[in-house]
Amino acid sequence: MADTTTSTASPQPDGKTPEVKLVPESDLIAVKRAAEGAKATLEANIATLTAQASEYRSKALEAGAFSEKLAESTKELATYKEQVAKLSPELAAAVKSRDELVVNYSTLRREHIATKYNIPVAILAGKSLQDLSTFEDALKAVGGTNATGQFTRGLGGNSTAPLSARDQAVAELELARSKK
């Protein structure tokens, strides 16, 4: 700033004359420009902070909406959890019942095949339902009859009457010789 000059003003009612300091106009313009620059900077900061506040407000609203949605989902999941807890014993009972029925059906299927095709039950023991179906389909494909059981024991199928021990031994010897 430039030097200031002093001048006197008109006297006051108390009779004293105050001293007035004059400032050069260039200094006043410089101060005014600095104040306007500071004001512009502050206005820019206010605009930036207002935009940030608006952004944070919208994020807070989104978070609130998400929180409400999460609370609804939690209630819905609690409902499903109750349903699962209610249905789990029913499912366990159904699975147990199914397993028992499969065992019973397998046993009946083995007995049916053994009776229909004259096959020893021991041959069918341990076979799954799929294996039993395949086994029976194969018997049907070769024209399985009551005499089929003779084939499964290696005794031939010409007669439905069981062979005597001597005839069975002879049949087995002939079978062994024919394989050589």
Name which of 97, 123, 95, 92 is nearest 110 in CA terms.
123
Q: What is the pLDDT of residues 140-170, one digit of tens each?
A: 888 766 555 555 555 555 555 677 888 888 8
Q: What is the pLDDT of residues 26-39, one digit of tens each?
A: 988 999 999 999 99
Is 24 a domain residue? no
Number of domains in the chain: 1
Range of the domain at 61: 31-158
**pTM of the complete model:** 0.41
Is 17 a domain residue? no
The mean pLDDT of 40-61, rounded to a whole number, is 95
Q: How far apart are CA 101 and CA 90, in angstroms?
A: 16
pLDDT at residue 159, rounded to an integer: 53
